[in-house]
Amino acid sequence: MRIICLSTPVGPLGSGLGGGVELTLRTLVRGLSTLGHTVTVVAPVDSHVAPTTTIERVGGALHVPSQTLDRSTPPVVPDDSVLVNMWRRVTEMSRSGNFDIVLNFAYDALPFVASRECPIPVAHLVSMGSLSDEMDRAVAMAVDRSSRCVAMHSHAQARSFGREIAGRVTVVASGIDLSAYDYVEAPDTSLAFVARISREKGVRDAFAVATLTGRVVNAFGVMEDRSVWDDAAREFPNATVEYRGFLTTDVLQRELGRSAALIMVHYWVEAFGNVAIEALACGVPVITYDRGGPAEIVHHGRTGFVVPPDDVSAVAGAVDRLGTIQRRDCRSDVEDRYSEQAFAGRVAAWLAAVGR
């Protein structure tokens, strides 16, 4: 198929502002191309992609990330919105007759509500759980028009939009390029926390776990909300949590691989949790709250532990049981279920169904 990938309007690809979507989009572009599809990316200016990727860079004002607003505040479409400009470009390309389908990665209402004006089918890969009334309505509108056109990354994410929606969307678990992750057999005692530094990712609980276990927690990710970090450091003065910055995948996986475990202590319904499969790919077990996508990735007792949500002492208890996990099982589980090829195959099958 000849696919147009519409990127997120919250930041250029490669800036980190697009969060997990940046890795997902890069992985899919490569995986779908390997399967013989042709992919063209439409993304904001300053987006960096592989030199082999065909990309249309579009100017305009970035959008406010939805998760920073409360659910009843409809996100404002900025003047000269980059999403409006990108959508205009996508529609022009769709009219050229050179493309078969649009794959939308933007978590914004426009592509969902305007897809009926597009001459070719629009498939939406929803990257977060239910966050705003406006997006819930937009997703419902797209599902009503054609339930096959919406996919999500986990059953928990789909359920966050309500039972009706959950029963009508396609679940396509994500995946990563495993050749970019090196397996580490012998770790140190540190724990890893990998996420945008923000309230919803549970920074506070990472400090609590560092205090309860007495272990160093290395925190990796873009410093999105400094006040969250400072509040946690004040509340847990004895916690040893090192901020290690936002690293490229290659450097991150080298650091991550040395960890005894990755802790996922998120407050929101993490849609999938790419960082969970990145850690497992390096042989690092994952200890996660029983909330969202990560709880569907981790095999409790075999590739990590799934503990009651918001129960930091249960996380600490799981840390003490890490010796029972075979790190090799973590790597082989990802090879079975979450490779780039498996992910691209799942998405290609979904797109073929949407295009019919």
Token couple for 107:
């978590």
Map residue 193 onto helix, strand or coil: strand
Question: Which span sits near ligand HBI by CB under 6 A: 14-22, 35-43, 200-208, 247-255?
Answer: 14-22
Question: Which span sits near ligand HBI by CB under 6 A: 15-23, 26-34, 302-310, 324-332?
Answer: 15-23
Question: Which span sits near ligand HBI by CB under 6 A: 64-72, 95-103, 174-182, 252-260?
Answer: 64-72
Nearer to ligand HBI, 127 or 170 (CB): 127
* Torsion-angle region of 344 (φ positive above 0: left; ψ -120 to 50: alpha; else: beta): alpha
**How far is residue 172 CA from its own chain's centroid?**
12
- 75 forms part of the interface with ligand HBI (CB under 6 A): yes
Largest Cα–Cα distance of the chain, in whole Å? 62
- 21 forms part of the interface with ligand HBI (CB under 6 A): yes
* Torsion-angle region of 203 (φ positive above 0: left; ψ -120 to 50: alpha; else: beta): alpha
Burial of 119 (0-12, 13-18, 19+ CB in 10 A): exposed
Of 12, 18, 187, 283, which lies in the binding site for ligand HBI, with binding defined by CB under 6 A? 18
∠ Cα 43 156 223 (to 5°): 50
Nearer to ligand HBI, 82 or 192 (CB): 82
Nearer to ligand HBI, 10 or 210 (CB): 10
Question: Which span sits near ligand HBI by CB under 6 A: 19-27, 163-171, 176-184, 306-314?
Answer: 19-27
Which of 281, 188, 269, 203 has its CA nearest to residue 236?
A: 203
- 20 forms part of the interface with ligand HBI (CB under 6 A): yes
- 327 forms part of the interface with ligand HBI (CB under 6 A): no
Q: Quick one: CA dihedral 309, 260, 21, 177, positive or negative?
A: negative
Q: Minimal distance in Å, beta carbon 186 to ligand HBI?
A: 32
- 104 forms part of the interface with ligand HBI (CB under 6 A): no
Q: What is the C-alpha to C-alpha distance for residues 355 and 332, in angstroms, rounded to an integer?
A: 33
Closest residue by beta carbon to ligand HBI: 19
- 221 forms part of the interface with ligand HBI (CB under 6 A): no
- 266 forms part of the interface with ligand HBI (CB under 6 A): no
- 273 forms part of the interface with ligand HBI (CB under 6 A): no
Task: Name the amino acid, one letter, at 270.
Answer: E
Site map 124..163 versus ligand HBI, x via CB under 6 A: ---xx-----------------------------------
Q: What is the C-alpha to C-alpha distance for residues 163 and 262, in angstroms, rounded to an integer?
A: 31
- 67 forms part of the interface with ligand HBI (CB under 6 A): yes
Number of residues located near ligand HBI, criterion CB under 6 A: 17
Q: What is the C-alpha to C-alpha distance for residues 353 and 257, in angstroms, rounded to an integer?
A: 38
- 331 forms part of the interface with ligand HBI (CB under 6 A): no
Task: Name the amino acid, one letter, at 304.
Answer: G
Of 10, 152, 217, 330, which lies in the binding site for ligand HBI, with binding defined by CB under 6 A? 10
Instruction: Give every CB contact of residue 241 below 8 A, 6+ residues apart in sequence.
Output: 193, 206, 207, 210, 216, 217, 218, 219, 232, 233
Binding residues for ligand HBI restricted to 153-212, rule: CB under 6 A: none
Question: Which span sits near ligand HBI by CB under 6 A: 5-13, 275-283, 325-333, 346-354?
Answer: 5-13
Task: Name the amino acid, one letter, at 214.
Answer: G
Of 87, 99, 107, 268, which lies in the binding site for ligand HBI, with binding defined by CB under 6 A? 107
**How far is residue 23 CA from its own chain's centroid?**
7
Instruction: Give every CB contact of residue 161 below 8 A, 6+ residues apart in sequence.
Output: 129, 130, 136, 139, 140, 152, 169
Nearer to ligand HBI, 128 or 315 (CB): 128
Nearer to ligand HBI, 25 or 344 (CB): 25
Q: What is the C-alpha to C-alpha distance for residues 240 and 228, in angstroms, rounded to an integer?
A: 16
The site for ligand HBI (CB under 6 A) is made up of 8-10, 18-21, 63, 65-67, 75, 106-108, 127-128
